[in-house]
Amino acid sequence: MLTRFPTLRLTRKPGFPNFGTLLVVDTVCSTAGAVPISLLYGYDLFKNFLKGANSIDKHFATAPLDRNIPVLMGLLGIWNMSFMNYRSRTTLPYAEALLKLPAHIQQLDMESNGKCMTKHGLEVDYLVGEIDFGEAGTNGQHSFYQLLHMGQTVPCEFIGFVQSQHDFCVEGEDLSSHDELMANFFAQPDALANGKTEEEVRAEGVAEDLIPHRVFKGNRPSLSLLLPKLTAYACGQLLAIYEHRTAVQGFMWDINSFDQWGVELGKKLAIDVKAHMLEGRRRNSSNASTLTTEGGEQPLPVVETGSPATTRLLNYYLDNSKDSVCNNQESHNSMTRVTRNTHREHNNNSLPPPLQHDLGQHGSRLS
User: Side by side, which strands form the sheet with 222-229?
Assistant: 131-134, 88-93, 156-163, 222-229
357 is catalytic: no
Residue 366: burial class (beta carbons within 10 Å; 0-12, 13-18, 19+)? exposed
Task: Determine how β-strand 291-293 pairs with β-strand 222-229.
Answer: unpaired
The sign of the torsion formed by the CA atoms of 62, 68, 73, 74 equals: positive
- Give me the amino acid identity at 33: G
The DSSP symbol for 2 reads P
Residue 280: burial class (beta carbons within 10 Å; 0-12, 13-18, 19+)? buried
- Give me the amino acid identity at 60: F
100 is catalytic: no
Catalytic-role residue among 47, 59, 111, 243: 111
267 is catalytic: yes
Using only C-alpha atoms, the chain has a radius of gyration, in whole angstroms, of: 27
Question: How many other β-carbons are positioned within 10 Å of the β-carbon of residue 328?
Answer: 11
Is 244:70 a contact under the CB 8 Å cutoff?
yes
Catalytic-role residue among 120, 123, 142, 332: 142
Catalytic-role residue among 123, 204, 208, 267: 267
- The per-residue DSSP string of 68-118 comes to -HHHHHHHHHHIIIIIS---EEEEEES-GGGTTHHHHHHHHHHHHH--SB-
Q: Is 17 helix (H, G, I), strand (E, B) or coil?
A: coil
Is 289:281 a contact under the CB 8 Å cutoff?
no
Rounded Cα–Cα distance for residues 217 and 43 (Å): 50
Is 88:128 a contact under the CB 8 Å cutoff?
no
Positions marked catalytic:
111, 142, 267
